[in-house]
Amino acid sequence: MKIVIAGAGSVGLYLAKGLADEHLITMIDVNESTLNYAESVAEVMTINGSATSFATLKEANIAQADLFLAVTSVEQTNLVTAMLAKKMGAGMCLARVKNPEYVADNPPFDLAELGIDHIIYPEGLVAKEISNLIRRASATDIHEFEDGKLTLLGIRMDDDGEILNKALQEVMRTVENVRFRIVLIKRKGNTIIPTRDVKLLAGDQVIVVAKPDGIGRILELTGKSRTRYKNIMILGGGKIGKACACDLENEFNVKLIESDIKVAYSLADDLDKTLILQGDGRDMQLLEDEAISEMDVFVAVTGDAETNIIASLMARQSGVKKTIAHVENTDYNKITNIIGIDALLNKKRIAAGSIQRLVHKANVVELFQIHGMDAEVLEYIVEPGSPITKELVKDLKFPKGAILGGYVRGKEVEIIVGNTQIQANDRVVVFTLHNCVQNVENFFRK
């Protein structure tokens, strides 16, 4: 596939690195040094110029592009560029925006009429993920496949739980019908594809794939089924914080702290049930006065990563059960477990992941990464005659750095075990370390 990316910033670069192995990538940017860096870390062609220039788009062979991604930091540039690219012959065109109006329900007209096939609003994606993490109280990660037919859950192992210090084969013997499977473990900074004899230890971050009726059982076994949240505190009243409060205020008691007094007054007008407080969220006295110790969840989404991390750690020290922070630097995700924050979210990584799912890589229909883990999650449609269909799973000699999670076959949904026989057109969820992706691909190709 030929892909043109306008914008070589963090989102564009993340996309280029993830797609360059399988696709022909051309990047456009006005900053030559940014393009030079992109060339040094990914196999891409680069063009120094404005993506709103006809000449630049022609130089990028835009008429031959299967996919055009406008992901610069300027919303207007992205919208105009995507429209120009479509008019000049590009295939699917996508634009990154900062204004929530573009993704609101019942827009005045369809942007596809102007040539923009998809809109990506990163702040909205982060807010949605935060809301999902809060509603699924015990989860550090959550993702649904095929409209919830299979669910990925991230769970941190505490000092209790029925399956603590037990090997996986012992755990699975306690389950009558296999409704979930533990597929990844992060332990002391290392990502592990678990084998039957691996024991679950306190402090492990465990990734589970489960059928709908298996979610309750795994929460019971990990001691998380009793977790219920009621009180939420949000630090930061920007786009993410406001969207979270708007989504959550009808189900939870929500307090929102905003340092800017004008923004605070505006939020008070727009949010019906959220208690708006004006102040510095790093002020421990303010947090104590607002009963931080009674909060179930603390969400830090100011524009400053250090403020978010420090405030989240203060909340954790005050006894808050769950802490979620937004950071701009994806490198922070590697230390999530070490510093004790449940989830570190990065809007650029989330946006890039959402865009990647639109790019069909071979017969992959979905691809994303789990926070802080050196692993990818892929959803395949099984091709007739591919190696994965030739034998029972236990006889496949599947790569040791990867594991099969579950499959959807029409209305049938099952967790994959040794005696499973994968069939053509099944939708299969696979978890793999980065260095095993190509070997996994080979099982799903004729």
Residues 186-196 have pLDDT tens digits of: 888 788 999 88
Helix (H, G, I), strand (E, B) or coil at 66: coil
pLDDT score at 251: 92
Query: What pLDDT was estimated at residue 226?
Result: 61
Q: Which residues pair with 233 in a beta bridge?
A: 255, 298
**Distance (Å, rounded) from C-alpha 136 to C-alpha 130?**
10
Q: At what angle do helices 347-356 and 10-19 cross, to 10 degrees?
A: 40
312 vs 397: CA distance, rounded Å: 44
Give residue for tokens 């420090």.
Answer: 310
Assess if CATH 3.20.20.80 describes domain 127-221. no
Q: Do domains 2-120 and 231-349 have the same CATH topology?
A: yes
| Record: fold of 2-120 | Rossmann fold (3.40.50)
Share of the chain residues as helix, strand and coil, in percent rounded to the nearest 5: 35, 25, 40
Query: How is residue 121 written in tokens?
Result: 């609003």
94: left (phi over 0), alpha (psi -120 to 50) or beta: beta
Annotation: CATH topology of 231-349: Rossmann fold (3.40.50)
Give backbone dihedrals phi and psi of 437, rounded to 5 degrees, phi first.
Answer: -55, -45
Sorted by where each begins, the domain ranges of the chain are: 2-120, 127-221, 231-349, 352-443
Separation of alpha carbons 1 and 24, rounded Å: 6
What pLDDT, on the 0 to 100 scale, is given for residue 113? 85
3-state secondary structure of 245: helix
Span 352-443: which CATH code?
Answer: 3.30.70.1450
Tokens representing residue 291 in the block: 């009963």
- The string over 40-51, giving b where at least 16 C-beta atoms fall within 10 Å of a residue's C-beta and e elsewhere, is eebebebbbbbb
DSSP, collapsed to helix, strand or coil, labels residue 165 as: coil
| Predicted local confidence at residue 295, as pLDDT | 95
Pairing of strands 150-156, 205-210: antiparallel
Single-letter code of the amino acid located at 206: V
Rounded average pLDDT per 10-residue block, the chain, 446 residues:
92 86 90 94 94 96 95 94 96 92 81 89 91 77 81 84 88 78 88 90 89 85 78 96 95 96 95 94 89 94 92 92 85 59 83 72 60 80 93 93 93 91 93 85 86
Q: Are 439 and 411 in contact (CB under 8 A)?
A: no
